[in-house]
Amino acid sequence: MKNPAPEITEKELNELIQSAKDVLQANWSGSFTRPSKNQYPHQWSWDSVFIAFGYTHYDKDRAEQELRHLFEGQWKNGMIPQIIFDQEHQSEKYFPGPDFWQSETSPNAPDHIKTSGICQPPIHATGVRHLIEYAPDRERAVAFASEIFPRLKAWHQYLDRERDPNNEGLVYIRHPWESGQDNSPIWDGILNRIEIEPSYIPAYSRKDINNVEPDERPSKPEYDTYVYLVNFFRERKYDEAKIRNDDCPFLVQDVLFNTLLCKANQDLAEIAEIIGENPEPFKTRADQIADKMNDKLWLDREQMYVDYDLKASKQIQARVLSGFLPIYASIPDQNRKQQIFEYLNTHCFCQMTDSCFPAPSYDRSGDDYSARTYWRGPVWINMNWLLYEGLKQYGFDDYVKQVRNSIIQLPFLSGFREYFDTNSGEGYGIENFSWTAALLLDILYREESTAIQ
Ligand code: GLC
């Protein structure tokens, strides 16, 4: 196996652990952890859960505080919003801020806290399950789970009711930001199809390219569409039925979002069992999602799962890493797992015999692959974490080891960057990015506790 990274000594590893904790401490706002101080100065939904994975092992108060603060932003209809805005607004640092979203125009928005009007992948029950499993004080973690359980249930009910209105077994997202993979090639076809009159794009000024090179970020036309969609929701006061019935141009059944909901339902069933609630509805829902994904989102020719475009009634054929991630929720059968691994372990996604860091977010042989542009090629640590958790259940040991090593070696070589170059290991995007630090801590702490046993 070729490995482009040097060995790390024990001393260096200990220093890396300390630096990871320092990153989280520096990004701590006093009541939640910012993904990054300047680029993302508010609380982001799925970031906070990844961050809590790390805190669980060495600061359970923080892990609980992180999740509690997130749930304070929960909408009355159950939605956990993508962003909970810092009370200080930080509007000079981030667009679109609360004044643009105007989520208070929805009767469902929370009364005392400003949020965005969309959501992000539902890994929250998984975060609470993780706390029960790994927090040193299990009794306390179980008490926390009992406190949070009604909120988790309301969140899942919102997704089932509002995002799967025909009870098909798959939920939809209505904005690329809801996928967590903002400018993934998955959305290209839809974004090109949406015809926007320039007068329908409200005037706005981007802040993200003040901190990061523009070619590492989404393009102007992509941003125009993001803003257009926000405006579309805002005009409908975030009313889900109106958005759906008024021909929302972006409605997608996304592989990663549904995978994480399936896993979250499996975890919520386990939580229910532990705290003496009925686990059955969550088990049934997890099975329903898995069956429907196998039925509707598998693409045999590509040996992977793909998204489904509800507006065009067709699968979206984009060869992205998230197409393999249903292994994280044990969705594929043995045969499909093998096929997934065969494709993953090719030059396209960094083969074991190549000198590179797995796993690029997009097939490297694609014409529009870009080594440094956000979700269009670079390696992301959260995706590696999901891949690692998924693959290790099936014993693809050598590849698993390489994915694990990437999670440690990339920050070692290049710092806690937002994303990395699969070939050189160079870091891109913002520096001192919280989930890069937190997920490295999670992996290392769990290894240490297994080694001790
Ligand atoms: C970007 C990422 C998204 C993340 C957010 C905050 O929008 O695409 O996944 O949650 O930044 O880190």
Q: Which positions ≥6 away from 88 have C-beta within 8 Å?
A: none
Report which of 385, 383, 339, 329 is spatially closest to residue 361, judged by C-alpha positions: 383
Mean pLDDT per 10-residue interval, the chain, length 453 residues = 74 97 97 95 98 96 97 98 87 90 97 96 98 92 97 98 98 98 97 90 90 92 95 97 94 98 98 98 98 97 96 97 98 96 95 92 95 97 97 90 96 98 97 98 90 50
pLDDT reported for residue 63: 97
Atom number of ligand 1 nearest to Cα 179: 9
Which of 42, 182, 260 for a ligand 1 pocket mutation test, highest count of atoms within 8 Å of Cβ?
A: 182
136 φ, ψ (degrees, to nearest 5): -60, -35
- In ligand 1, the atom with minimum distance to the C-alpha of 433 is 12
User: What spacing in Å lies between the alpha carbon of 208 and ligand 1's midpoint?
Assistant: 11
pLDDT at 1: 47
The residue to mutate among 24, 32, 47, having the most atoms of ligand 1 within 8 angstroms of its beta carbon, is 47
Among 370, 452, 381, which Cα is nearest to 417's? Answer: 381
pLDDT of 453 reads: 41
Catalytic (active site) residue 182? yes
Q: Which amino acid is at 355?
A: S
The span from the CA of 3 to the CA of 402, in Å, is: 8
pLDDT of residue 31: 95
Domain borders along the chain are 10-443
- Residue whose CA is closest, atom 4 of ligand 1? 180
For residue 253, what are the β-bridge partners? Answer: 308
Q: Is 246 a catalytic residue?
A: no
pLDDT at site 241: 97
Q: How many CA atoms lie within 13 A of 276 on its CB side?
A: 4
Please tell me the predicted confidence (pLDDT) of residue 3: 61
CA of 73 to the centre of ligand 1 (A): 18
Which fold does the domain 10-443 belong to in CATH?
A: Glycosyltransferase (1.50.10)
pLDDT at position 89: 64
Q: Among candidates 52, 85, 87, 67, which has minimal Cα distance to 151?
A: 67
Contacts of 85 (CB under 8 A, 6+ apart): 42, 43, 97, 98, 113, 114, 115, 116
Give the position, in ligand 1's atom list, of the atom nearest the Cα of 375: 8
How far, in Å, CA of 151 to CA of 147, rounded? 8
Cβ distance 430 to 212 under 8 Å?
yes
- H helices present in 32-137, as ranges: 45-58, 60-72, 98-101, 124-134
